[in-house]
Structure 1
Amino acid sequence: MMQFPALVSERLVLRSLRASDAPDLSTYCQDIEVTKYLAVVPHPYTEEDAQSWIASQDKGIAGINLGITHDDKLIGVVGIKASSERDVGIFAPTIGYWLAPAFWGKGFMQEAVRRLLDWYLPLEPTEKMCAAAFEDNPRSINLLKTLGFEEIRRGTGYSAARGESVPEVIMELTSERFLQQRCA
């Protein structure tokens, strides 16, 4: 079973996912307002889908994915995929995330992503981190810009929930820019 350290921030704990998270995970991912912005999460999303995905975490085949918890309640997920996206020209780890709508607009996702990057970037000898956000998701694009990500190109990405390709913005954060921003 893959276990990662719990990462604590001011209001959140990022921790390994548990089988007991499946009901909350499936409830949140049944909301099209969550899944339409994600590449690989289908809609509808069942509790069996959640259980299967959590089991894949235990095998270590899905990258690093941590539950975002607030007051001991799962409110989202943040994760990093290895740089295996060579077919689309991404040669760096890719960060991804989602948050339950009830927690949008409160700074939780910025706090979670920053905490994961604070932990990961010093451990990984990579020079950069990538992210992709669909063009119709300005919240995500703004979050990434706030954290120091810069647009490197535009393209299209597939949204499983929508069942179609969607225009997207590919962004990149260098370790140097992230550290400069953290020290500023």
Structure 2
Amino acid sequence: MQQAIESERLILRPFSMSDAERVSELAGDKQISEMTANIPYPYTVSDAENWIRTHTELFLSGKGIVYAIVLKESSELIGAISFPKLENGLGILGYWLGVPYWGCGYATEASKVLISFSKKHYGLTRLKVMHLVGNERSKSVIEKLGVKYVGDQTNRMQGKDREVSVYISEA
């Protein structure tokens, strides 16, 4: 069973179907689609439900893990953080936060606690993180994690070629 993880201000917990409407509300903001690789616009409740349905199998396969980011104080869901790929010690970190929660340090806090937990429990030894070129907020999070920049590359995402900056380090 996927364990919840706590940090100073946050709880990382598995998503449930009851989160779908909130996920759609937050991820459905056009700014989220513009700053992430895999979230389309518009993002419907059905899209959220389909995404949430994939989480259990991913976790049980041992190839990845997805968490809801929740404010400890209010239990309010504010975003998601994951290792959509976690194999042979290499974790590819991904995250998004609802726009009202940008700039509060939540992505950095969630990333640090998930990385630490994953070293102990999931065999994480190497970390890869990417952000779309121009996403300065995500770049700032990654720099605070101490992951080394290795270069830019073009990835095909949502039917378009998009430039991403790639960072890789020992975890």
| TM-score normalised by the chain length of structure 2 | 0.89
Q: Show the counterpart of 2:15.
A: 17
Q: In the aligned structure 2, how far is the partner of 1:166 from the partner of 1:118?
A: 30
Q: In the aligned structure 1, how far is the partner of 2:124 from the partner of 2:117?
A: 13
What pairs up with 1:18-57 in 2 under 5 angstroms? 18-57=16-55
Q: Which of 78, 82, 88 is 1:75 aligned to?
A: 78
What pairs up with 1:78-157 in 2 under 5 angstroms? 78-82=81-85, 92-157=90-155
Q: In the aligned structure 2, how far is the partner of 1:49 from the partner of 1:63?
A: 20
Q: In the aligned structure 1, how far is the partner of 2:128 from the partner of 2:140?
A: 15
* Partner AA of 1:25 in structure 2: V
Residues 105-156 of structure 1, C-alpha deviations (whole Å, 9 max, x = no match): 1111111111101100233444311011011101111110111111112101
Q: In the aligned structure 1, how far is the partner of 2:85 from the partner of 2:160?
A: 24
* Partner AA of 1:40 in structure 2: N
- Considering only aligned residues, what root-mean-square deviation do their CA atoms show, in Å? 1.8
Contact kept, 8 Å, 2:155 with 2:161, in 1: the verdict is yes
Q: Show the counterpart of 1:180.
A: none
Contact kept, 8 Å, 1:77 with 1:98, in 2: the verdict is yes
Q: Show the counterpart of 1:165.
A: 161
Contact kept, 8 Å, 1:159 with 1:166, in 2: the verdict is yes
Q: In the aligned structure 2, how far is the partner of 1:68 from the partner of 1:12?
A: 7
* Of 166-175 and 13-22, the range deviating more from structure 2: 166-175
Higher strand share: 2
Superposition deviation, residue 58 in structure 1: 2.4
Q: How many residues align?
A: 165
Unpaired runs of 5+ residues, structure 2, are none
| TM-score normalised by the chain length of structure 1 | 0.83
Unpaired runs of 5+ residues, structure 1, are 85-90, 176-184
Q: In the aligned structure 2, how far is the partner of 1:73 from the partner of 1:125?
A: 30
* Of 9-18 and 32-41, the range deviating more from structure 2: 32-41
* Partner AA of 2:165 in structure 1: V
Q: In the aligned structure 1, how far is the partner of 2:133 from the partner of 2:85?
A: 23
Contact kept, 8 Å, 2:127 with 2:168, in 1: the verdict is yes
Q: In the aligned structure 1, how far is the partner of 2:123 from the partner of 2:20?
A: 33
Residues 69-125 of structure 1, C-alpha deviations (whole Å, 9 max, x = no match): 0120110000002257xxxxxx93200000001011111111111110110023344
SS in 2 for 1:36: helix
Contact kept, 8 Å, 2:22 with 2:77, in 1: the verdict is yes
What percentage of residue pairs aligned between the two structures are identical?
27
* Partner AA of 2:134 in structure 1: D
